[in-house]
Amino acid sequence: MHKQLLRVVADSSHQAFEDKAMPIAVDRVLAGAPKEVIDNLFTNSKENFFCGVWSSDSGKWTLNYTEDEFCYLIKGKAILTDSQGKVEELNAGDAFVIPAGYQGTWETVGEAQKFYAIYEEL
């Protein structure tokens, strides 16, 4: 089977966000009424590696990671606070990894968008 390169491209228009946005699960929300768009562009054959583009508007919610995720913030600002209270402010252009087992909160200030690559142990 021939494998081809997949280009990962973000549509950063506000209208594209509004057309696809879904509310973040209410039991996870700590502030605001945040919505998100998950545009998964690739899943491997084992279905344990994914990549794509994620977007959200303002809000704060809980995180409980079971997967490893590499992120590159394309636009906006996010504040991640781990369960020990360590705060990381992330801005457009920042790359970071959220490891499996991470617990804490994600806060989006304004609108944010990131490229993501997720690996989950089977």
Question: 3-state DSSP call for residue 85?
Answer: coil
* pLDDT at 14 (0 to 100): 62
**pLDDT of 11:** 75
Position 2 scores a pLDDT of 77
pLDDT for 45:
95
Q: What CATH code is carried by the domain that includes residue 48?
A: 2.60.120.10
Is 49 inside a domain boundary?
yes
Q: Which burial class, exposed, middle or buried, applies to 62 when counting CB atoms under 10 A from its CB (0-12, 13-18, 19+)?
A: middle
Look at residue 19 and tell me if it is in a domain.
Answer: no
Mean pLDDT by 10 residues, the chain (122 residues): 80 73 96 95 96 96 98 98 98 98 98 96 88
Q: What's the pLDDT score for residue 54?
A: 96
Q: Are 114 and 73 in contact (CB under 8 A)?
A: yes
What total of structural domains would you count in the chain? 1
> Residue 86 sits in which domain range?
31-119
Q: Per the domain annotation, does 90 fall within a domain?
A: yes
Q: In this structure, is residue 17 part of a structural domain?
A: no
Contacts with 81 (C-beta within 8 Å, 6 or more apart), sequence order: 87, 88, 104, 105, 107
